[in-house]
A and B are shown apart, each in its own frame.
Chain A
């Protein structure tokens, strides 16, 4: 196309175009309201073995429904001419130059098309095995799938693998397109053979395809128009099938689940609201509903559902990105799962059984730390065991594997150092989905199957130190007191440290062997492995100083109940005396010192409590 064919720009005095005068935009909108058709959108993924014709199917579907922009077809035809290649519908989608050179779909491409009934996005997912992660990316966005099999080549490895992945991703609506029927002269027996083989395979996964459709994408037969060559086929065309797929909106009637994405307080702008935001995965919630945040167990009641403007909605429901305020203030942190108190509770566990698909080049192994992302939560995990690995060729479970290789599908047990809230896939699929991050990369994805009981003894407890012959009793007799770790936890690290330092001065003044050490923070909230390591060091220090008979006073800043549990486990067999400084109040602390107490008062109160608890020797009368 040549721009000279288009209307020329008229230049104004300053050289700027007089494209339109400075007219008031809002005045321009004062026109009769055009009612927008209230249609839904369906996301469909197209998958299949390489060269089985996915892209051609989509290109044809778009062309035959009149969904192609004019420029697009011309552009691709012109490119074909330049490259001296015959035009193919598949090229419409392979818009990138390097792909046209290789003739395969490298990445997921979105194609938009409309019918009078619905809007569609088709995610064209690559068929090459190296690009499985791209196929998964496309498939995880879809509510239905078109799985293309070459009638001539039959069922291939990726046909199987894709079928398995679709089932694992929870896509229940699958249409199998048996393509290139023209090459087999539309032989019904050949179609039946492919259909039978693949249906048997899917049946073993518990998947029943919505339909098997014989097509020739190149000729457009049974895509939008019915194939005259196959009078024996009376099922739907691809277009009819696509129109018959159902949108998924049944999550409304299931229990309310909202991963807490963030908590906003834009006080600088004079806004006093504390807004709990997230996208509702399932169910609905209304003002007045009692809610629980998990795993912390914090409870409150919904006060309002917030909006940018206009009246506040009286309900937030599945699919919405919403924000709520609460009646009673709770310090729920981003990452927790918000649920309704009157509905079935999710699972909370630090061990879980799961199905996983591994995408990273480096295998999933034991002894390495990964980050599990479940909803908005990020927790450190490690692989505890591999229960079975699925052979994608034969679909047989292989037990006894030590690790999970790239492109393997496996059933595994993960263990975390802190609990995470989720649902089992068969109960509530959306909140069973997770990904595993290795280093900086999303390395695996999966669904949780079951919560497992807490592991008996954590590996952290096995310490690799040898101590000398002097016993704790001997030290206590010498020092006049036993060792103890006293930790302050509070939202303000500076304040907690000031109280800790003041307390230690008092204790030291009593002749006690003491030490004060503060970790201002555990590090970036997001860097869960870094935080975990920092906590591990603190636990080691607490153990060592306590074992040495010293009273350690430590300020540890903002920690939650689960951080403290881990600290206690690390310091074992020594006990930790926890002092909460602030308004949280649900740490299970041995002593709570509200911030209304000034630093010196708080230190004095702590001293009294420690003496009463027998941690410090009673003052000589």
Chain B
């Protein structure tokens, strides 16, 4: 098997293991390329079905194209889409764009906190109603005990040390110094009550692998990744106030692959356009220990 086939098989195995062994598991869908590849892998793993809810955390600062693309795919593939948001922080304007908090605190409010309370069911959730074709308040607020996330080891230092199945305790703490062993295809799936698990099927993928796979499988991605003639495009999608586009004239997937493989981005870190990383002392460690993905 070539590299992409090996990666695909391992990710599919992990998704199936999470579905079998964890209780109420959901999958995080940021609408970016990685979590969309993850969604495609889930459709492969379950033969066209996605028996796992897809949770999207809407910071209200995502680019409009992302939201439109999200709803379109959710309806087309009949996905069980669940949307969470930190409504209070937005109402109180506790955000970086409002000028009231710094970038790190903003991430913490709009992403980390929103995610935490969407997962534990303490905050309201929206769910896609496929008959009405729109999001409605979700009556089911049962907590998710596991969450599948598309993080990759090559993104930055702390992610390179992740396990495929990574337990977080009741306080959401990640004990980096004492992680469970993972041998062969045996992942840790036995947990003390109250533990919450993160599952990382894309850990061994690189940014280039993700684009090569998007190419191979014709996976639709949002147009924000392509240059529309202005000579800029997004390489990594976040909230617009903290995402700087890169100078690039790549207008399609093959051109992006070329940029990454041997062209202008072959030596530049993917998240170099994400401002919160720099404000966190060069790594995402403090954000991630607090529950950031």
Distance of A279 Cα from B160 Cα, bound (Å): 25
Contact A261 B13 (CB under 8 A): yes
Of A106-114, A451-459, A492-500, which binds chain B? A106-114
Is B170 part of the contact surface with A, judged by Cβ < 8 Å? Answer: no
Contact A323 B160 (CB under 8 A): no
Contact A445 B181 (CB under 8 A): yes
Contact A95 B156 (CB under 8 A): yes
Known contacts A34-B258, A70-B268: A277-B283 contact under CB 8 Å = no
Distance of A91 Cα from B272 Cα, bound (Å): 19
Is B43 part of the contact surface with A, judged by Cβ < 8 Å? Answer: yes
Is B133 part of the contact surface with A, judged by Cβ < 8 Å? Answer: no
Contact B6 A3 (CB under 8 A): no
Within 8 A of B (CB), among A245-267: 249, 261-262, 264, 266
Contact A271 B48 (CB under 8 A): yes
Indicate which residue in B188, B226, B270 contacts A23 across the interface (CB closer than 8 Å).
B226
Known contacts A22-B65, A97-B281: A110-B186 contact under CB 8 Å = no
* Residues of the A chain whose Cβ atoms lie less than 8 Å from the Cβ of B43: 308
Contact A33 B245 (CB under 8 A): no
Known contacts A28-B252, A31-B255, A111-B160: A17-B272 contact under CB 8 Å = no
Is A462 part of the contact surface with B, judged by Cβ < 8 Å? Answer: no
Contact A16 B240 (CB under 8 A): yes
Within 8 A of A (CB), among B1-53: 1-10, 12-13, 16-17, 19-21, 43-49, 51
Contact A97 B283 (CB under 8 A): yes
Contact A107 B161 (CB under 8 A): yes
* Residues of the A chain whose Cβ atoms lie less than 8 Å from the Cβ of B158: 95-96
* Residues of the B chain whose Cβ atoms lie less than 8 Å from the Cβ of A31: 251-255
Distance of A111 Cα from B156 Cα, bound (Å): 11
Is A617 part of the contact surface with B, judged by Cβ < 8 Å? Answer: no
Closest Cβ–Cβ distance, residue A313 to chain B (whole Å): 12
Contact A79 B65 (CB under 8 A): no
Contact A323 B2 (CB under 8 A): no
Tally of contacts, chain A with chain B, CB under 8 A: 252
Is B223 part of the contact surface with A, judged by Cβ < 8 Å? Answer: yes
Contact A273 B272 (CB under 8 A): no
Contact B176 A98 (CB under 8 A): yes
* Residues of the B chain whose Cβ atoms lie less than 8 Å from the Cβ of A463: none
Indicate which residue in B154, B233, B253, B268 contacts A20 across the interface (CB closer than 8 Å).
B233
* Residues of the A chain whose Cβ atoms lie less than 8 Å from the Cβ of B245: 7, 9, 17, 19
Indicate which residue in A70, A107, A112 contacts B179 across the interface (CB closer than 8 Å).
A107
Which of B5, B69, B97, B275 gathers most chain A CB within 10 Å?
Answer: B5
Indicate which residue in A121, A279, A359 contacts B13 across the interface (CB closer than 8 Å).
A279
Contact A441 B180 (CB under 8 A): yes
Distance of A9 Cα from B200 Cα, bound (Å): 32
Is B247 part of the contact surface with A, judged by Cβ < 8 Å? Answer: yes
| In the complex, residue of chain B having the shortest beta-carbon distance to the beta carbon of A102 | B177
* Residues of the B chain whose Cβ atoms lie less than 8 Å from the Cβ of A262: 16, 19-20
Distance of A39 Cα from B49 Cα, bound (Å): 30
* Residues of the B chain whose Cβ atoms lie less than 8 Å from the Cβ of A21: 223, 228
| In the complex, residue of chain B having the shortest beta-carbon distance to the beta carbon of A309 | B48
* Residues of the B chain whose Cβ atoms lie less than 8 Å from the Cβ of A109: 153, 157, 160-161
Distance of A355 Cα from B51 Cα, bound (Å): 39
Measured as residues with beta carbon below 8 angstroms from the partner, the interface class of chain A is: 35 or more
Of A132-140, A222-230, A573-581, which binds chain B? A132-140
| In the complex, residue of chain A having the shortest beta-carbon distance to the beta carbon of B192 | A440
Is B151 part of the contact surface with A, judged by Cβ < 8 Å? Answer: no
* Residues of the A chain whose Cβ atoms lie less than 8 Å from the Cβ of B204: 110, 121
Is A596 part of the contact surface with B, judged by Cβ < 8 Å? Answer: no
Contact A279 B176 (CB under 8 A): no
Is A36 part of the contact surface with B, judged by Cβ < 8 Å? Answer: yes
Known contacts A72-B269, A442-B181: A28-B176 contact under CB 8 Å = no
Is B185 part of the contact surface with A, judged by Cβ < 8 Å? Answer: yes
Contact B240 A134 (CB under 8 A): no
* Residues of the B chain whose Cβ atoms lie less than 8 Å from the Cβ of A33: 215, 254
Contact B254 A20 (CB under 8 A): no
Distance of A587 Cα from B69 Cα, bound (Å): 52
Which of B64, B247, B270 gathers most chain A CB within 10 Å?
Answer: B64
Distance of A382 Cα from B205 Cα, bound (Å): 39
Closest Cβ–Cβ distance, residue A261 to chain B (whole Å): 5
Known contacts A20-B234, A271-B47: A39-B1 contact under CB 8 Å = no
Contact B228 A23 (CB under 8 A): yes
Contact A96 B285 (CB under 8 A): yes
Distance of A26 Cα from B214 Cα, bound (Å): 11
Is A561 part of the contact surface with B, judged by Cβ < 8 Å? Answer: no
Contact B282 A75 (CB under 8 A): yes
Indicate which residue in A6, A28, A112, A137 contacts B154 across the interface (CB closer than 8 Å).
A112
| In the complex, residue of chain B having the shortest beta-carbon distance to the beta carbon of A323 | B47
Distance of A308 Cα from B272 Cα, bound (Å): 35
Is B221 part of the contact surface with A, judged by Cβ < 8 Å? Answer: yes
* Residues of the A chain whose Cβ atoms lie less than 8 Å from the Cβ of B186: 373, 434-435, 442, 445
Is A40 part of the contact surface with B, judged by Cβ < 8 Å? Answer: yes
Closest Cβ–Cβ distance, residue B223 to chain A (whole Å): 4
| In the complex, residue of chain A having the shortest beta-carbon distance to the beta carbon of B49 | A266
Contact B221 A25 (CB under 8 A): yes
Indicate which residue in B9, B251, B282 contacts A319 across the interface (CB closer than 8 Å).
B9
Contact A269 B49 (CB under 8 A): yes
Known contacts A20-B65, A40-B1, A97-B281: A134-B247 contact under CB 8 Å = no
Chain A 99-128 per-residue mask, 1 if CB under 8 angstroms from chain B, else 0: 000000011111110000001010000000
Contact B223 A20 (CB under 8 A): yes
Within 8 A of B (CB), among A79-98: 79, 95-98
Distance of A595 Cα from B254 Cα, bound (Å): 58
Is B227 part of the contact surface with A, judged by Cβ < 8 Å? Answer: yes
Closest Cβ–Cβ distance, residue A577 to chain B (whole Å): 35
Contact B247 A7 (CB under 8 A): yes
Within 8 A of A (CB), among B72-122: 97
Distance of A39 Cα from B5 Cα, bound (Å): 10
| In the complex, residue of chain A having the shortest beta-carbon distance to the beta carbon of B21 | A526
Distance of A334 Cα from B157 Cα, bound (Å): 37
Distance of A273 Cα from B48 Cα, bound (Å): 12
Is B132 part of the contact surface with A, judged by Cβ < 8 Å? Answer: no
* Residues of the A chain whose Cβ atoms lie less than 8 Å from the Cβ of B244: 3, 6-7, 9
Is A367 part of the contact surface with B, judged by Cβ < 8 Å? Answer: no
Contact B240 A9 (CB under 8 A): yes
Contact A140 B16 (CB under 8 A): no
Indicate which residue in A106, A119, A308 contacts B44 across the interface (CB closer than 8 Å).
A308
* Residues of the A chain whose Cβ atoms lie less than 8 Å from the Cβ of B218: 26, 29
Is B190 part of the contact surface with A, judged by Cβ < 8 Å? Answer: yes
Chain A 571-614 per-residue mask, 1 if CB under 8 angstroms from chain B, else 0: 00000000000000000000000000000000000000000000
Known contacts A25-B222, A29-B253, A271-B47: A66-B273 contact under CB 8 Å = no
| In the complex, residue of chain A having the shortest beta-carbon distance to the beta carbon of B245 | A19
Is B203 part of the contact surface with A, judged by Cβ < 8 Å? Answer: yes
Closest Cβ–Cβ distance, residue A420 to chain B (whole Å): 14
- 9 additional A-B pairs beyond A40-B6, A134-B181, A140-B184, beta carbons within 8 Å, are A17-B240, A19-B234, A22-B65, A29-B253, A70-B267, A71-B268, A262-B16, A266-B51, A320-B1
Nearest first, the 9 A-B pairs at minimum CB distance are: A95-B157, A71-B269, A34-B254, A321-B12, A133-B181, A31-B252, A23-B223, A69-B269, A41-B3
10 contacts between A and B (CB under 8 A): A20-B234, A24-B223, A36-B212, A70-B269, A137-B179, A320-B5, A321-B16, A371-B190, A433-B184, A441-B180
Please list the residues of chain A having a beta carbon within 8 angstroms of any beta carbon in chain B: 1, 3, 6-7, 9, 14-26, 28-34, 36, 38-41, 66, 68-72, 75, 78-79, 95-98, 106-112, 119, 121, 133-134, 136-137, 140, 249, 261-262, 264, 266, 269, 271, 273, 275, 277, 279, 306-309, 319-321, 323, 334, 359, 371, 373, 433-435, 437, 439-442, 445, 526
Please list the residues of chain B having a beta carbon within 8 angstroms of any beta carbon in chain A: 1-10, 12-13, 16-17, 19-21, 43-49, 51, 63-65, 68-69, 97, 153-154, 156-158, 160-161, 163, 176-177, 179-186, 188-192, 203-204, 206, 212, 215-216, 218, 220-228, 230, 232-234, 240, 243-247, 251-255, 257-258, 267-270, 272-273, 275, 278, 281-283, 285
